[in-house]
Structure formats: structure tokens, C-alpha cells
């Protein structure tokens, strides 16, 4: 499933085609994705202008001139591509191209989703913050307000593992399995550690909370900055999908191991992550 850096990459890719442009025509090639499209979906978009295109966690949010918001989630396999209308050599039609936004910018923004776990919704004015997908969502990890103190407050008293806490979207928005493992490695914290151990009993941050918050920001920023640069899987990640490799931390001589937590693969170095 695409994580925050990949969703941000998609946002930046479609931004020039959508922000400030009007929906000239909306083409729905099926009745539903993960869920049915909202009532009169195409009609409610047609003629509306995208005032802003932003990201909230793993969701894309287009703020419309109607004051409604178009909420989009990529699901497990969804992706957008941008085509120029009237191109001499348009891309061939794909059976998994389910939605096409024909924009006044002269671009067609195509949503392709082979597994159809993506979703689109139209949210009424003033109700976005209370939407079922966003209402309980925690702080954005790249927001200045997200720091060790905020992370400690969210983890205080939690008996779950630190890795599981990081995957809880109520603790921090948009962080997924890959970058949670990467941040824990960078911070030198075991994914098996109890979440509450980064906070005092009163919820104040320990040094480990500050270290982890900084690591989360760093791995996400690095991932976003290299999203447009070709790189091998081995060079992209510190521990993720590197079982059996030597640890990449300084003088550590440990070996990356894998185990399963809540049905998900966790990669870590038992020597330097405590």
C-alpha cells in the first residue's frame, strides 16, 4: 500500500494539472471502487474548480469551488497518471483505468487501480475534519507541531508495541509499515519495545521520544526527496526488506532480522535497536 511519501509524490505529480483547473468532464468507467461513488459524483464535480490540492495522512484532498472537498485514497494498488488531451500518441486504454478527470488545464488525470481498493468521496462543506476517515487522525509527522512531546502524549500508557503504536493513524498520520521500521532503526529503538516506555507516567517525553520524532521526520523527508530519483531497493532502505544484510548503522556489526508483528513483516537490527 502506498505510504505517505508515495502519496505526496502523486500529489506533486498531479498538482499542475489539477490545482486552479476546472473539471470539464468526469468519466466513470465503473460504478464503484472499494465503495460506490457518491450520489451524482460526476455531476457535482463537473464545472467546479480545484482551489487547492493537499494531502492529509495517506489521503489526497481537493478543495473545490463548490466548498465541497474531493477525498481520494489510493488503496493498495491505485495510482494517478497525467495525459495531455489531444496528444498525438495517447497512452493505450487500460482495463484498470477507472476514473478520468478531464481538466480545463488540457490534461486528463487518470486513476488506475487494478485491485480496486482505492476510494473517492465528496465531503460537504465544513464536515471534512469530522469525516470517518480523517476525524480521529493524529498529527501530520512533517508538521512543526509534531515533536517528541506530541508523540509521548499519544504513546503514554499504551501497552502495545512501539511499532504497532506508530502504525496507529490516531498517533501519527500517514506513517506505514515501511517507514515505521526505518524510523525505529534510525532512532535505535526496538520495534518490540512497549510504546509507553518513551514517556514518563505523566506523559512527558523521554529522550527516546524526541529521538524517534526526529527520526520519523528524517526518513519521510529523505523518502520524499528521492521519490523522483531512480534507486535500487537496497540503497533506498536502512532495514526494510534487507533480512540477512549487515546493519547500516555506523560500526554496528549486527545483521538485519525479520519477524512478524500483527501480520506485517518487521525488519530490525537486534544489536543496535534496544
Residue 184's domain is classified under what CATH number?
1.10.8.50
Q: What is the CATH number of the domain that holds 61?
A: 3.20.190.10
pLDDT, tens digit, 9 for 90 and up, residues 58-114: 999 999 999 999 999 999 999 999 999 876 555 667 899 999 999 999 999 999 999
For the chain, what is the mean pLDDT?
Answer: 94
Per annotation, catalytic residue among 11, 56, 58, 242: 58
Range of the domain at 38: 4-130
pLDDT at 213 over 60: yes
Q: Could you tell me if 164 and 194 lie in one domain? A: yes
Would you call 229 a catalytic residue per the annotation?
no
Q: Could you tell me if 111 and 178 lie in one domain? A: no
Would you call 206 a catalytic residue per the annotation?
no
pTM score of the predicted model: 0.92
Q: With bands split at pLDDT 50, 70 and 90, how would you rate the model's confidence at 228?
A: low
Among 85, 100, 130, give the residue marking a domain's end: 130
Would you call 58 a catalytic residue per the annotation?
yes
Q: Could you tell me if 105 and 217 lie in one domain? A: no
Identify the pLDDT of residue 1.
Answer: 76
Per annotation, catalytic residue among 140, 226, 264, 270: 264
Q: Could you tell me if 85 and 155 lie in one domain? A: no
Identify the pLDDT of residue 229.
Answer: 62
Query: Exposure string (b/e) for 164-198, b if CB count within 10 Å is 16 or more?
Result: bbbbbbebbbbbbbbbbbbbbbbbbbbbbbebbeb
Would you call 264 a catalytic residue per the annotation?
yes
Amino acid at each position: 500500500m502506498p505510504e505517505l511519501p508515495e502519496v505526496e509524490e502523486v500529489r506533486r505529480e498531479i498538482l499542475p494539472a489539477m490545482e486552479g483547473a476546472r473539471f470539464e468532464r468526469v468519466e466513470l468507467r465503473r460504478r464503484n471502487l472499494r465503495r460506490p461513488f457518491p450520489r451524482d459524483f460526476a455531476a457535482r464535480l463537473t464545472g467546479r474548480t480545484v482551489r487547492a490540492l493537499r494531502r492529509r495522512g495517506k489521503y489526497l484532498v481537493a478543495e473545490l469551488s463548490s466548498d465541497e472537498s474531493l477525498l481520494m485514497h489510493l488503496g493498495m494498488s491505485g495510482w494517478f497518471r497525467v495525459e495531455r488531451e489531444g496528444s498525438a500518441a495517447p497512452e493505450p486504454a487500460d482495463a484498470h483505468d477507472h476514473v478520468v478527470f478531464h481538466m480545463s488545464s488540457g490534461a486528463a488525470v487518470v486513476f488506475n487501480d487494478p485491485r480496486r481498493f482505492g476510494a473517492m468521496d465528496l465531503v460537504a462543506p465544513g464536515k471534512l475534519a469530522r469525516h470517518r476517515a480523517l476525524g480521529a487522525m493524529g498529527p501530520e509527522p512533517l508538521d512543526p507541531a509534531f515533536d517528541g512531546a506530541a508523540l509521548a502524549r499519544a504513546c503514554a500508557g499504551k501497552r502495545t508495541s512501539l511499532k504497532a503504536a506508530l502504525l496507529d493513524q490516531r498517533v501519527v498520520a500517514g506513517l506505514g509499515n515501511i517507514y515505521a521500521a526505518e524510523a525505529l532503526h534510525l532512532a535505535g529503538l526496538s520495534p518490540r519495545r512497549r510504546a509507553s516506555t518513551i514517556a514518563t507516567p505523566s506523559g512527558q517525553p523521554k529522550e527516546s521520544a524526541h529521538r524517534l520524532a526526529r527520526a520519523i521526520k528524517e526518513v519521510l523527508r529523505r523518502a520524499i526527496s528521492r521519490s523522483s530519483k531512480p534507486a535500487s531497493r537496497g540503497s533506498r532502505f536502512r532495514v526494510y526488506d534487507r533480512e540477512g544484510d549487515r546493519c547500516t548503522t555506523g560500526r554496528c556489526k549486527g545483521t538485519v532480522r525479520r519477524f512478524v508483528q500483527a501480520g506485517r513483516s518487521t525488519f530490525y537490527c537486534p544489536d543496535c535497536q534496544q
